[in-house]
Amino acid sequence: MRIGIMGSGGVGGYFGGLLARAGRDVTFIARGPHLEAMRARGLQVKSVVGDFQIAVQATDNPAVVGPVDLILFCVKGYDTERSALQMRPMVGRDTAVVCLQNGVDNEDKLDAILGPDRSWGAWSTFSPRSAAGGHQSDLGAADSQVWRTDGRTTPRTERILEVLRSAGVLATLSPQIQVDLWEKFVFICAHGGVTALTRLTLGEILACSETASLYRGVMEEVAAVARAKLIRLADDIVERTMTLARGFHPDTRSSLAYDLAQGNRLEVETLVGAVVRYGRELGVPTPLAFAIYACLKPYHDKAVRAWGG
């Protein structure tokens, strides 16, 4: 099985690194200093489940790779459409695209560019951090769920699961991936938005009753939007997600907070921006999400200008 990794940061570098270490034919799509570092020194993965370093195939040109069997699509949300167009030469008649992005509408964007039912939603539980120089850091456990659009188990889905599992990924097929994705969305919108807005760690946020109420309030808004979209979230989803948050290390921050501190572009449209848009469409009030969105969007716009659009 030939595999392409579109977006070789924390998520793509980690899963792609596991697959390459397992002997799979993996090519990483990257750019800039990160690409040059991987070419020169390979890929180093530092993980709670073990560290390793391997030589890898890497390029910034999907056309030289050609059609592959599987693409792990791991780019940031603001790069979805551009990256989908760029990777078209890697997409053959039977190519599966597994989307490992934050957010709940990425598969629709991919299918609009690549064709219907091409992409599969996926959900992973760990929180990675990417570093320069071809290094990747994984801050949690490796786990992933993969879902076929029509929900059926097929020889191809079983083959993909076999490949992922043989590399050490705890991959399963989920019969309710939209619920899974929205449950994660409840957490990442609150966690990403509030840690970025306040510049505080999770422990500091939860230690202040007012700020903890903000954190929980964003979860409640996301859950309300999901239910208006007829997503069958559990009645206790907010309480369960707060319990999950309390179990994280108190020094935990989000990738959104990290990108803000580094002056990078932000996944603000993918996260709280999407909550605001869905809320307006469905008549669900989202004042907390809007406040976070309004405060963070200028930083994203500034970074876009610095990147040249």
The two three-digit tokens of residue 170, written as one number: 């705890």
The residue segments making up the domain with residue 121 are 2-173
Q: In terms of domains, do 70 and 112 share one?
A: yes
Q: In terms of domains, do 40 and 115 share one?
A: yes
pTM attached to this predicted model: 0.88
The string of pLDDT tens digits covering residues 85-134 is 999 999 998 899 999 999 998 988 999 999 887 888 888 866 545 444 45
User: Of 173, 205, 233, which closes a domain?
Assistant: 173
- For residue 18, the surrounding DSSP H or E stretch is helix 10-21
**Number of residues in the chain:** 309
The string of pLDDT tens digits covering residues 241-285 is 999 999 999 999 999 999 999 999 999 999 999 999 999 999 999
Q: In terms of domains, do 142 and 216 share one?
A: no
Q: In terms of domains, do 22 and 155 share one?
A: yes
Alpha-carbon separation of residue 92 from 2, 16, 114, 125, 280 (angstroms) = 11, 20, 10, 29, 38
Q: In terms of domains, do 14 and 137 share one?
A: yes
The CATH number for 223's domain is 1.10.1040.10
User: Of 146, 173, 200, which closes a domain?
Assistant: 173
The two three-digit tokens of residue 110, written as one number: 């991919």
Sign of the CA dihedral with 139 first, then 142, 143, and 146 last: positive
The residue to which tokens 């939209």 are assigned: 178
CA–CA gap between residue 57 and residue 38 (Å, rounded)? 8
Give the per-residue pLDDT at 11: 86
47 beta partners:
138
Q: In terms of domains, do 161 and 200 share one?
A: no
CA–CA gap between residue 215 and residue 193 (Å, rounded)? 9
Q: In terms of domains, do 145 and 214 share one?
A: no
Q: In terms of domains, do 149 and 195 share one?
A: no
Sign of the CA dihedral with 189 first, then 191, 192, and 193 last: positive
User: Of 118, 145, 173, which closes a domain?
Assistant: 173
Q: In terms of domains, do 96 and 185 share one?
A: no
8 CB neighbour count, 10 Å cutoff: 28
58 beta partners:
28
Q: Specify the pairing of strand 68-73 against strand 91-99.
A: parallel
